[in-house]
Amino acid sequence: MNDQNKPPSTADFQEVKDYLQSLQRAICNGMEQTDGAAKFQDDAWSREQGGGGLTRVLRGGQVFEQAGVAFSHIHGPELPKPATVARPELAGCSFQAMGVSLVIHPQNPWVPTSHMNVRLFVAEAQDKQPIWWFGGGYDLTPFYPNLEDIQHWHRTAKAACDPFGDEVYPEYKDYCDRYFYLRHRKETRGVGGLFFDDLNSWPFATCFNFMRSVGDSYLKAYLPIVEQRKNREFDNRQKEFQRYRRGRYVEFNLLYDRGTLFGLQSDGRTESILMSMPPSVSWKYNWQPQPDTEEAMLYRCLKPRDWLNAAAI
């Protein structure tokens, strides 16, 4: 990919696919090491209409109650209907979509939940150059937030973006705050991170490098936080608060998350899509935290904030 204006080739797409598969391996290895007990169970699947994936799930670990890391590469002769609503010019195009998506639900409520996704979408009409775009990002969802953790998370996100321009981190940090927002709760999902979509304003190779930079930085952003908090003692009240807040995760994913809704509407593999669901969840009618409790602290974090320059939660 020396000539940056050349349209991407089959070999370029294959290179992205190779990267995604190696990213999945690296992330699962890192998670297993940090967990120290449980191993991922692998589920390879294929799809009648074309393509398939490898869903890897670790359950009941020492550190992770559930960690799901999915790779998929699906293709087909015609874009699924939900994908062409916003882009009617692509109706009838053949397509391929590949990505890695993960959600980590830790045992310990002092450890935040995290999510990461990187993906490439390609639409091809006969005798035309392929239309492609990258998307992805990661966001952190603490239960008992810690400013040091949040700043480490955002510093790592910023470092992944900075080689691509000073405006990149602020732009995708803002997009993340807007995307992971529960309108019916007037809450962000957590303390954010990065979110990008429809990225094709740079040459293909640069976009791919950016996606790689985001993907490669995820473990560096998350695992130090896990290591820092995983041995802190917790009690039932804190576990119960974690289960309660996981309800918001469910609400976001089923009400708003584009990947989840697109997957379910286009007859994706339900179990791989819903591996993001938390292993144990609770809802409590009209629950509110008592003022000045550790639980109340979280609610000060559930709006867009300039975390890198925050002096306190």
Which residues does the annotation mark as catalytic? 115
In terms of phi and psi (left: phi > 0; alpha: psi -120 to 50; beta: otherwise), the region of 111 is beta
Q: Which of 51, 82, 247, 259 binds a second copy (CB under 8 A)?
A: 247
List residues bridging with 59 in a β-sheet. 66
Q: Which of 270, 296, 300, 303 binds a second copy (CB under 8 A)?
A: 270
Indicate the residue among 227 and 271 with the shorter CB distance to a second copy: 271
284 is a contact residue toward a second copy (CB under 8 A): yes
Are 160 and 217 contacting, i.e. CB atoms less than 8 angstroms apart?
yes
Q: Is 80 in the site for a second copy (CB under 8 A)?
A: no
The span from the CA of 212 to the CA of 21, in Å, is 12
Return d(Cα 265, Cα 102) in angstroms, integer.
Answer: 20
CB of 169 to a second copy, least distance (A): 32
| Amino acid present at 30 | G
Question: 137: alpha, beta or left, given left = phi > 0 and alpha = psi -120 to 50?
Answer: left
Contacts of 81 (CB under 8 A, 6+ apart): 265, 266
Rg (CA), the chain: 19
Binding mask 165-184 for a second copy (x = CB under 8 A): ------------------xx
- CA atoms of 67 and 32, how far apart (whole Å): 10
Tell me if 72 sits within 8 A of 98, measured CB to CB: yes
Quote the least distance from Cβ 270 to a second copy, whole Å.
5
Which residue in 147, 264, 297, 310 binds a second copy (CB under 8 A)? Answer: 264
Distances (CA, A) of 256 to 44, 45, 124, 237, 261: 27, 26, 28, 29, 7
Q: Which is nearer to a second copy, 222 or 249 (CB)?
A: 249
- Dist CA 103 CA 279 (whole Å): 11
Of 90, 102, 55, nearest in space to 74 by CA: 55
**Between 148 and 271, CB nearer to a second copy:** 271
CB of 19 vs a second copy, minimal distance in Å:
25
Among the listed ranges 94-102, 126-134, 200-208, 259-267, the one in contact with a second copy (CB under 8 A) is 259-267
Q: What is the pattern of x (binds a second copy, CB under 8 A) and - over residues 24-43?
A: -------------------x
Q: Which of 14, 62, 200, 280 binds a second copy (CB under 8 A)?
A: 280
Binding flag, residue 57, a second copy (CB under 8 A): yes
* Residue 113 · residue 249 · CB < 8 Å: yes
Total residues contacting a second copy (rule CB under 8 A)? Answer: 33
Element (DSSP H or E) covering residue 1? none
- Given the complex with a second copy, which of 87 and 283 has the nearer CB atom? 283
Which window, 9-17, 112-120, 197-205, 279-287, contacts a second copy (CB under 8 A)? 279-287
Residue 239 binding a second copy, by CB under 8 A: no
Q: Which of 181, 174, 142 is nearest to 158 (CA)?
A: 174
Per CB under 8 A, the list member of 286, 290, 292, 311 interacting with a second copy is 286
Q: Give least dist CB 295 to a second copy, A.
A: 17
> Which residues contact a second copy by CB under 8 A?
43, 55, 57, 59, 66, 68, 183-185, 243, 247, 250-251, 254-255, 261, 264, 267, 270-271, 273-275, 277-286
